[in-house]
Amino acid sequence: KQEVTQIPAALSVPEGENLVLNCSFTDSAIYNLQWFRQDPGKGLTSLLLIQSSQREQTSGRLNASLDKSSGRSTLYIAASQPGDSATYLCAVDSGNTPLVFGKGTRLSVIA
């Protein structure tokens, strides 16, 4: 059974810092991994999707990496801004089972 863990559960950083959010999964037989952002009172917005054959994906100040063999993914946010404050969730697609989500990392960027 796939399990997804995100560390840390919460993170507070000053504006301008670069930061890394971590996601680990127990079963390396995955099709893809997605990073989502969730603002308070809102649904989830997909940020990046990494296929199992890829090592990383980039979008603006966001960079997500995937190391399938070790069961790890990281989301790197460069030059953080107060608008980046949200909960970030990773989710693993193993193909024939539902997406499995982590519990998320709650990020606060302080101006």
Partner 1 sequence: EAGVAQSPRYKIIEKRQSVAFWCNPISGHATLYWYQQILGQGPKLLIQFQNNGVVDDSQLPKDRFSAERLKGVDSTLKIQPAKLEDSAVYLCASSGRTGGSGNTIYFGEGSWLTVV
Considering the complex, state which of residue 14 and residue 95 has its C-beta at the smaller distance from partner 1: 95
Which residue(s) pair with 74 in the sheet?
22, 65
Stretch that binds partner 1, among 11-19, 58-66, 71-79, 95-103 (CB under 8 A): 95-103
> Is 56 a binder of partner 1 (CB under 8 A)?
no
Handedness of CA 92, 58, 62, 74 (dihedral sign): positive
Residues 19-38 that bind partner 1 (CB under 8 A): 31-32, 34, 36
Q: Tell me the three-class secondary structure of 54-88, residue by residue.
A: CCEEEECCEEEEEECCCCEEEEEECCCCHHHCEEE
Q: Given the rule CB under 8 A, which residues bind partner 1?
A: 4, 31-32, 34, 36, 41-46, 49, 51, 89, 91, 93, 95, 97-104
